[in-house]
């Protein structure tokens, strides 16, 4: 039984992989014209379909919207009962259908054409009604569904989603859609935080431990403990960063020294502290922490003035890690 289940799963993956490989042949002039048409359009992309194709359409709409191409979904069944009012004159309409012969599609297609909108057919049958009526075709024909009966939409819906992704990525590039743009559309969740959360948003919540070069060992330890960041900055009278002392530095000194009565901060500090500028992204801080295998970074401004300490726990708390 276990063997049969694994074989069935592997066959499904194999069949869908073949279908995706076959899509390469369909990235043709019609695909290019569709991308250019949408890029030039002053309207939105309206995507419609019925059944499983409708579900795929909703996913493609979500991808387009999140990558800078305004889009909306219109269910083909609802469209012929009033929702056609969603379509504006400059919109480009993409109709998704494997067969291209669904009754709702046959009713909807001429209505869209009558509005004067450009009609793009994402189809799995180039001889279909939808294919004949479309201004441009996005071919998602598959040789075989992964369904054992070759009936349930499996390979075909996978092909539709990938074609939609190809469309979205090409439009992203034409629109020069950057990481900052992506952050504007994804402000929520951990993904959003990775794109917009800055060092400034994190270190200000912490204590700001600081000592001078002549500070005694006792006071250094008190300052590190008070800050609960595992370190303290060493600054000059103008608050310019001079060095750092970590709890590890203190432990190593205690292991090597018997008489600690005259130990000052300058005797144990590290004059090459790992720093980060206040305006950088939190993910850049994470990369530095990983690179040097440390737990904290000293935050400074452009003039080297000490601002605070960013700790690994700050990134964990915000879900950056």
Same domain for 118 and 247: no
Token digits for 236? 């000059």
191 within domain boundaries = no
Name the nearest CA neighbour of 195 among 206, 184, 204.
Answer: 184
70 within domain boundaries = yes
CA atoms of 291 and 110, how far apart (whole Å): 60
Q: Name the domain boundary from 177, 210, 240.
A: 177
CA atoms of 120 and 115, how far apart (whole Å): 14
Whether the Cβ atoms of residue 248 and residue 296 lie closer than 8 Å to each other: no
189 within domain boundaries = no
Whether residue 222 is predicted with pLDDT greater than 80 in this model: the reply is: yes
Name the nearest CA neighbour of 299 among 219, 182, 206, 215.
Answer: 206
Same domain for 205 and 87: no
Same domain for 222 and 164: no
Whether residue 169 is predicted with pLDDT greater than 70 in this model: the reply is: yes
Same domain for 129 and 12: yes
Q: 2 falls in which pLDDT band (50, 70, 90)?
A: confident
303 within domain boundaries = yes
Name the nearest CA neighbour of 28 among 157, 166, 168, 176.
Answer: 166
Same domain for 217 and 152: no
User: DSSP assignment, residue 198?
Assistant: B
227 within domain boundaries = yes
User: DSSP assignment, residue 243?
Assistant: E
Residue 125 domain boundaries:
2-177
Same domain for 131 and 38: yes
Beta bridge partners of 92: 45, 118
CA atoms of 167 and 171, how far apart (whole Å): 6
Which residues 6+ apart lie within 8 Å of 9 measured at CB?
A: none
Same domain for 142 and 272: no
Name the nearest CA neighbour of 179 among 29, 281, 53.
Answer: 281
What mean pLDDT do residues 255-281 have?
A: 92
Token digits for 135? 């201004």
* Vertex 219 angle, CA 216 and 221, to 5°: 110
Same domain for 273 and 153: no
Question: CATH number for the domain including 106?
Answer: 3.40.50.10490
pLDDT tens digit string along 275-319?
999 989 898 999 999 999 999 999 999 999 999 999 999 999 888
- Position 188 scores a pLDDT of 63
Q: Name the domain boundary from 177, 212, 241.
A: 177
Same domain for 219 and 306: yes
CA atoms of 15 and 24, how far apart (whole Å): 15
Question: CATH number for the domain including 300?
Answer: 3.10.580.10
CA atoms of 54 and 59, how far apart (whole Å): 9
Token digits for 129? 């009604």
22 within domain boundaries = yes
182 within domain boundaries = no
Q: Is 311 annotated as a binding residue?
A: no
Q: 54 falls in which pLDDT band (50, 70, 90)?
A: very high
Q: Name the domain boundary from 114, 143, 177.
A: 177
Structurally, the chain folds into a number of domains equal to: 2
Q: Average pLDDT, whole number, for the chain?
A: 92
Beta bridge partners of 137: 121
Whether residue 113 is predicted with pLDDT greater than 80 in this model: the reply is: yes
pLDDT tens digit string along 223-238?
999 989 999 999 999 9
Same domain for 286 and 169: no
Same domain for 60 and 167: yes
Beta-strand relationship, 118-123 and 92-97: parallel
CA atoms of 24 and 59, how far apart (whole Å): 21
Whether residue 186 is predicted with pLDDT greater than 80 in this model: the reply is: no
Same domain for 311 and 225: yes
* Vertex 54 angle, CA 52 and 57, to 5°: 115
- pTM for this model (two decimals): 0.69
- Position 202 scores a pLDDT of 92
């Amino acid at each position: 039984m276990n063997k049969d289940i694994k074989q069935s799963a592997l066959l499904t993956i194999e069949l869908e992989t073949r279908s995706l490989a076959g899509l390469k042949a369909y990235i043709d002039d019609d695909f290019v014209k569709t991308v250019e048409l949408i890029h030039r359009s002053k309207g939105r992309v309206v995507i419609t379909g019925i059944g499983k194709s409708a579900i795929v359409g909703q996913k493609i709409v979500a991808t387009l919207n999140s990558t800078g191409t305004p889009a909306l979904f219109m269910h083909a069944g609802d469209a012929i009962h009033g929702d056609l009012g969603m379509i504006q004159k400059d919109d480009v309409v993409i109709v998704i259908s494997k067969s291209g012969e669904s009754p709702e599609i046959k009713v909807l297609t001429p209505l869209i054409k009558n509005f004067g909108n450009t009609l793009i057919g994402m189809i799995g049958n180039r001889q279909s009604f939808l294919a004949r009526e479309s201004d441009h075709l996005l071919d998602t024909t598959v040789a075989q569904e992964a369904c054992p009966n070759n009936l349930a939409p499996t390979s075909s819906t996978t092909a539709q989603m990938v074609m939609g992704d190809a469309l979205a990525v090409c439009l992203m590039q034409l629109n020069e859609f950057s990481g900052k743009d992506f952050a504007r559309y994804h402000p929520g969740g951990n993904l959003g935080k990775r794109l917009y959360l800055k060092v400034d948003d994190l270190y200000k919540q912490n204590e700001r431990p600081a000592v001078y070069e002549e500070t005694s060992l006792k006071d250094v330890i008190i300052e590190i403990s008070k800050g609960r960041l595992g370190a303290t900055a060493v600054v000059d009278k103008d608050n310019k960063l001079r060095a750092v002392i970590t709890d590890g530095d203190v432990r190593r000194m205690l292991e090597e020294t018997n008489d600690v009565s005259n130990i000052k901060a300058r005797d144990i500090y590290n004059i090459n502290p790992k720093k980060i500028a206040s305006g950088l992204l939190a993910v850049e801080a994470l990369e530095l922490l990983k690179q040097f295998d440390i737990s904290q970074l000293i935050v400074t401004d452009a003039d080297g003035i000490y601002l605070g300490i960013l700790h690994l726990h700050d990134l964990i708390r915000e879900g950056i890690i």
